[in-house]
Amino acid sequence: EPPVVGYAREGRIVLDLRTVAPEDDEQLATAVASALRANEDTRG
């Protein structure tokens, strides 16, 4: 699985999608949404 590199810019996290094949977009979107939900759960 190719890595997805992220970096901080102006207080936000930006994902560099150059290593992500178009057919993997949905899987990546699901993983990011899951991570965001998990973060919300830990913050209350």
Whether the CB-CB separation of 9 and 26 falls below 8 Å is answered with no
pLDDT at 38 over 80: yes
Does the reported pTM lie above 0.75? Answer: no
- Spatial neighbors of 43 by CB under 8 A, at least 6 apart, are none
Query: pLDDT at position 33, please?
Result: 94
* Sign of the dihedral defined by the CA atoms of residues 33, 38, 5, 3, in that order: negative
Q: How many domains does the chain have?
A: 1
Percent of the chain with pLDDT over 90: 70
Query: pLDDT at position 44, please?
Result: 63
Which three-class secondary structure state does DSSP give residue 16?
strand
Within 13 Å and on the Cβ side, how many CA atoms surround 15?
11
Whether the CB-CB separation of 4 and 21 falls below 8 Å is answered with no
* Average pLDDT estimate for 18-31: 92
Q: Domain containing 28: what range?
A: 5-43
| Per-residue confidence band for 3, with pLDDT thresholds at 50, 70 and 90 | confident
